[in-house]
Structures are given as structure tokens and as C-alpha cells.
Amino acid sequence: CHWLLCCLLICSNTRSLYGMSDTSALTVLGQTVHHAIAHVEVFPAPAHVSSVTFTTDELSSICPVTQQPDIATVVIEYEPNEFCIESKSLKLYLWGFRDRAVFAEALAAEIAAEVMETAKPYAVRVHLTQRPRGGIEVSAVAEMFSDAE
């Protein structure tokens, strides 16, 4: 019995060390969701993770001037502090831009601010590249750093 208790304690501590214990704040993972969400969801960052990168080439928004659709590739890189971003919630958050009129530069800055506010990383860098329209490709980078760094 003592051996089993020790194994359970070690397993529990290992889960806590690697950030696998607390998923109570996650509401969209494992659920069928048919709408965008306002904010990304986070979980405790596993120990020893120094960088996380998300990439998608399916970010869509609307041009604020022409009302034409804009399609972009976005790379989101951050250095976790206490939290990591849950990827399904990120997908649903980004989905919310599909009907929003926003310039590429403002979109990169808004995504970086969301990551900084919600996940509270040491640093975040968002590189957004909009597909060419009229022969011009737009590339915007937004970076933010925590006060603790």
C-alpha cells in the first residue's frame, strides 16, 4: 500500500511538473463549437518549455476599405511564463476575424496583445503575411515583452 501511495504521489508531482494536471479552465477542447470565441484559453505551462510556435495559412479578414476578403499566413511565437495557449481555442479566436474589417498591421498587433494579455508570456512575436492583392504582399510584425523580462 505504501508503494502504491508513493507511485501515485510521484505520478501526481510529475503531472504537475509537466503541466498536465489542471485543464479545468478549458471550455472548448473536446466540445463541438460552431462559433468564434473572444479570447484564447490557456493551461499551465509545462516545465522546461522555452518557446511555442503556431502557424496557419488560413487567417481571413476583410479589407476595411474595399470590403474584399484578405487571406494571410500568421506565425505566432511566444516564450511561456506560467501559461500555454490551447490550440483549438486559438483556432476559434482567429476564426473571429473572418468577418472583421481590419488592416494587416492592426491585426498582427491585436493578436499579439491577446496572447500577452491572456497567456502572459515573457515575450510574443506575431508575423502576419497577407497574400498579394494588386500585386503587393503585406508583411507585419508585432512584438511585445513582459515587464518582468
The set of catalytic residues is 63, 70
Residues 66-81 as b/e (b if ≥16 CB within 10 A, e otherwise) read eeeebebebebbbbbe
Query: Is residue 83 helix, strand or coil?
Result: strand
